[in-house]
């Protein structure tokens, strides 16, 4: 079936300076890194920032309108059935297991768990619980075979295949042994990379025992934490056409793009947050809506930024130049561009950013312009 709207990719380019931190640790407990352009860079995995984005959604959007990802689906469904029907936990669990067995999800190693994390909407699970609400006592009295036969006629799979919440529509869902439950992601998120070379440093710390006797000496505990500091280039893209397909609603798709851009820009992974208090806001958020393909501009930093100060500002100039080169070389001008930045309103950097992305806007105005453009795109497609 043809998609209801033409291709439209919303590219999100962010520059963000982070002070000493350990946002996303590797298997040694140190900040993740990567070689790029022949030098060692700070790296934050896409998974870490996607989770931070999803967590930020929960600060802005009612929980019932979002999804959760867990192995403990049976426990959550049991709780809903028990609360809605008044059945005891044992009877509610029996109905929950029968409903989930209808899906064919593989059982996990622990009792009550499934074999993998399942990403589902809270309203979807409530709809599954509602399938047995009015007949709960009757169904609970049946033997196993009779119960399975009754459940077989219920549209359990359909409840998980429709009415996707925003975060499932954005990030997708894969269920290896039930392809019918898969949802193609509308969003791709790149690993964040520093625009410059970094060196791993260590914070050696000691902790004093508050109850230590006067005659005792030394620390109560010693240790070390790896950290680095970096100006990160962050990139993500949202396919409006896929998002519209997943949500089946124009207004919901436009609203979801706005929520994603907001939460992606404002969120931060929380690794060692109490130790480093590393939370900052981006220096630059640039948006481009394209009809050809997503374009990650990390090639702007293949040659690492190497200036004694002003790394963020030099990175912004490099990003603008790379965006312009890509447009000139490939002949693909975005249908919409916009920028929000914290650099001086006059000077070379401001002029270059304005020439490339347009007049700088406050972040709320940037979102308003994006929403207006996307709404117009969908309305034109519907004519």
DSSP per position, 320-368: HHHHHHHHHHH----SEEEEEE-S-SSSHHHHHHHHHH-SB--HHHHHH
| DSSP character at residue 163 | S
Rounded to an integer, the average pLDDT of 134-161 is: 90
DSSP H helical segments within 154-291, as ranges? 156-161, 166-171, 240-247, 250-266, 273-276
Q: Which of 175-179, 277-281, 300-304 has the lowest mean pLDDT?
A: 175-179
Chain segment 197-239, per-residue pLDDT in tens? 999 999 887 777 777 776 666 666 777 889 999 999 999 999 9
The token pair that represents 357 in the structure block = 């992305």
Rounded to whole angstroms, how far apart are CA atoms 69 and 79?
Answer: 16
Chain segment 73-123, per-residue pLDDT in tens? 989 999 999 998 988 999 999 999 899 888 887 777 787 788 888 898 999
* Whether 90 contacts 195, CB under 8 Å: no
> Among candidates 73, 78, 72, which has minimal Cα distance to 136?
78
The larger pLDDT score, comparing residue 64 to residue 296, is at 296
Q: What is the pTM of this model?
A: 0.91
Q: Which of 280-284, 332-336, 359-363 has the lowest mean pLDDT?
A: 332-336
pLDDT at 2: 45
Residue 331 clears pLDDT 90, i.e. is over it:
no
pLDDT at 4: 58
Rounded to an integer, the average pLDDT of 33-62 is: 95
Rounded to whole angstroms, how far apart are CA atoms 277 and 66?
Answer: 28
Classify burial at 308, counting beta carbons within 10 Å of its beta carbon; exposed 0-12, middle 13-18, buried 19 or more: exposed
Rounded to an integer, the average pLDDT of 331-346 is: 93
Residue 329 clears pLDDT 90, i.e. is over it:
yes
* Backbone dihedral angles phi then psi of residue 255, each to the nearest 5 degrees: -65, -40
* Whether 236 contacts 190, CB under 8 Å: yes
């Amino acid at each position: 079936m043809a998609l209801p709207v033409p291709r439209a990719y919303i590219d999100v380019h962010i520059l963000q300076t982070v002070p000493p931190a350990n946002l996303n640790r590797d298997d040694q407990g140190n900040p993740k890194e990567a070689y790029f352009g022949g030098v060692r860079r700070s790296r934050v995995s896409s998974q870490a920032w996607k989770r931070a984005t999803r967590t930020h959604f929960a600060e802005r959007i009612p929980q019932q309108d979002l999804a959760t990802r867990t192995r403990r689906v049976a426990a959550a469904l049991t709780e809903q059935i028990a609360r809605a029907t008044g059945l005891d936990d044992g009877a509610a669990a029996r109905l929950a297991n029968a409903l989930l067995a209808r899906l064919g999800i593989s059982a996990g190693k622990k009792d009550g768990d499934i074999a993998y994390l399942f990403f589902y909407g809270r309203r979807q699970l409530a709809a599954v619980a509602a399938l047995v609400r009015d007949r709960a006592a009757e169904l609970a009295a049946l033997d196993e075979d009779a119960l399975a036969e009754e459940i077989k006629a219920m549209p359990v799979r359909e409840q998980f295949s429709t009415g996707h919440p925003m975060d499932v529509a954005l990030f997708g869902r894969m269920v290896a042994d039930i392809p019918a439950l898969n949802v193609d992601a509308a969003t791709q998120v790149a690993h964040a990379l520093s625009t410059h070379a970094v060196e791993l440093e260590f914070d050696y710390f000691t902790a004093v025992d508050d109850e230590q006797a006067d005659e005792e000496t030394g620390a109560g505990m010693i240790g070390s934490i790896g950290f680095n500091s970096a100006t990160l280039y962050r990139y993500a893209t949202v396919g409006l056409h896929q998002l519209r397909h997943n949500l089946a609603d124009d207004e919901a798709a436009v609203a979801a793009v706005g929520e994603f851009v907001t939460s992606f820009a404002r969120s931060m992974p929380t690794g060692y947050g109490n130790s480093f208090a590393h939370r900052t806001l981006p220096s630059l958020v640039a948006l481009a809506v394209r009809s050809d393909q997503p374009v990650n501009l990390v090639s702007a930093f293949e040659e690492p930024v190497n200036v004694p100060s002003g790394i963020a500002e030099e990175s912004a100039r490099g990003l603008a130049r790379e965006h312009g080169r890509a447009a000139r070389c490939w002949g693909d001008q975005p249908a919409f561009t916009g920028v929000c930045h914290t650099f001086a309103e006059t000077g070379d950097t401001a002029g270059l950013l304005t020439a490339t992305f347009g007049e700088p806007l406050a972040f709320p105005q940037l979102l308003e312009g994006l929403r207006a453009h996307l709404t117009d795109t969908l309305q034109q497609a519907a004519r």
